[in-house]
Chain A
Amino acid sequence: MTNPLKDDFASFAEHAVAPDMHAKVLAESRRLGIRRAVVSGAAALAVLVGGVTGAFAVVGSPNGPDTGPDVPAASSPSNSIEPPPEKGSDVVGPLSGTFYYIDAEGEAGATRVLSWTPGQGDPTVVLEGDDTLRSTATVSPDGRYIAWREPTPDGLDASLKLKDLSTGAVTTLMDEFRYLPCAEPEWTPDSASLLVGRLPLGEYNGVTAAYVDVAEPQTFRESVEIRGCHPRFIAEGEHAGEILYWSDSDLVAILPQGGESTLDTSGIQSAVMEFVDRVPSSLVSVGDDGSKACLSTDLETVDRVLPCDAVIGLPGADVFMAAEDFATSFLLAGDAVISRSGGVMTVFDAAGTELGAITEPPLGDGAELLSYVD
């Protein structure tokens, strides 16, 4: 059968006129070279790390695919990657906590949340439900609870549920819970409350979010306008309690009840573009002390994105690590940064020094890393 769309496209494309643009191309290339030399000089050092854990670049100046002939790629012996450990040698000193994964390997394709602590056997299923778990399930920072949206049996409504992971007790935190994809439930750093989307903002891309206390179910506390999506808290340090979110093409920092933060988050989009030639589209996570944020450059979606592929240093917009492709993803675990690729998690400290590697247990192909709890 003829492909009608291809025929239409071909017909349109024939209207393009091809001018002689060789001279203009060389002139623009020269301009790019000047701009890149300035950027490169300011950044001082380019480090390219690649290896068995997947290809990613660490800290420094632009090193994307269009690096000009005048910008040599540098290497860093101090950051060279060691071979991954053998299966079973799965303990890394600074990370003795628990990893949480999401997969769709439950009965009849049900979505599951699994927990796994290196050195303590196979992953354990802690929750099973429909596919909204992927968008809403979230483990509290202290590891005590998991919260999620659960549709009512008739599918017409939903509740915000809470499970105590130590006792298995499930309670309802909020009936008639309206889930807004742009603002999934997010734990406050003290694990005492969740910030949940309540209403979409009329003229803005964003939501009015409200706090719900674990100790006071069915009650919305004060609300805050999130003029973007996926709010995340800074847990410690100078900006403790402040909220970061992704707004259109910028990372925005606000105070816990709204109002402008002093944290400088400017220039991130261009920094990531310069580094990996991809456009950041979503905030995935924020490091505990707010010195790093992990972004996704995958196609835009209002839904929650779990894997992130560009780690940004804050304040400012230094690209700390960025994956060359989507086979590698990152997770911020306290002050550490974990690079995950091919069943191996490589752990770096806050400065980018490799601390070691963890071999993941056998997981389904679609298993995604949800979070790490110390």
Chain B
Amino acid sequence: METDLPAAQFEEFVRSRTPALMRTAFLLTGDQHLAEDLVQSALARTHRAWRRIREEQNAEAYTRKIMYHLRVSWWRRKRVKEQHADVMPEAPVSGGDSTEDSVRRIAVWEAMMRLTPRQRAVLVLRFYEDRSVTDTAELLGCSEGAIKSQTSKALNLLRTKVPELRELRFFAEGSVA
């Protein structure tokens, strides 16, 4: 199937944006291979819609939106299996972190992996990508009220699992409520 856009332009998009997409996908999935699958599937759909996306100049936003939706739908199909899986992806802790940071990050990671994919996606969008409630709702295809409630639940769970986070006033708390 030919597209109007030169193939080289799509290839350039893939090569330049894959690292950033992989970083987000890794946070969403907690696993390098799952993250690769997710990014690949999202980019394939971007390719299918490339003509329209090029006109709207929002290829990365489109790809990210697909990525979030795919992640949630994959999980829904597999969630019974995942709910009974005891194996948790190993926490990716850097050697350069202090012991205190490493311990906390392992706890944060484990708490993150216990969130539902939607809750995880909400946190990644709000606190990694610094998206507003409105943007997050638009990207996940849900209402702003749902984002606020999911954010609140996810943060509460993180605080429960990571005592160190209880002392911190969450920067965006005001916008969470």
Contact = CB atoms under 8 A, between A and B. Distances in A.
A3 B26 contact: no
A300 B127 contact: no
A20 B12 CA distance: 11
Given A21-B39, A279-B76, A16 B143 contact: no
A21 B40 contact: yes
The majority secondary structure among interface residues of chain A is: loop
B128 A65 contact: no
B66 A277 contact: yes
A66 B22 CA distance: 20
Interface of A: 1, 3-6, 8-22, 24-26, 28-33, 36, 65-70, 249, 269, 273, 276-279, 297-301, 325-326
A29 B13 CA distance: 15
Given A16-B25, A25-B44, A299 B76 contact: no
Contacts of A36: 48
Going nearest first, the 9 A-B pairs with the smallest beta carbon separation are A16-B26, A68-B48, A15-B92, A299-B146, A28-B44, A13-B23, A18-B19, A66-B45, A9-B128
Interface of B: 1, 3, 11, 14-15, 18-19, 22-27, 32, 35-36, 39-41, 43-51, 62, 65-66, 69, 72-73, 76-77, 91-94, 97, 104-105, 108-109, 118, 123-124, 127-128, 130, 137-138, 140-143, 146-147, 149-150, 158, 165, 168-172
A326 B1 contact: no
Contacts of B147: 299
B76 to A, nearest CB: 6
Contacts of B27: 9, 12-13
A69 B49 CA distance: 6
A26 B40 CA distance: 9
Contacts, number: 155
B44 to A, nearest CB: 4
Contact of A68 (B1, B15, B72): B1
Given A3-B171, A21-B18, A32-B45, A69 B1 contact: yes
A5 B165 CA distance: 9
A28 B128 CA distance: 29
A15 B48 contact: no
A11 B40 contact: no
Contact of B40 (A24, A30, A298, A301): A24
Contacts of B3: 69
Contacts of B48: 29, 32-33, 36, 66-69
Contact of B49 (A4, A17, A66, A297): A66
B88 to A, nearest CB: 14
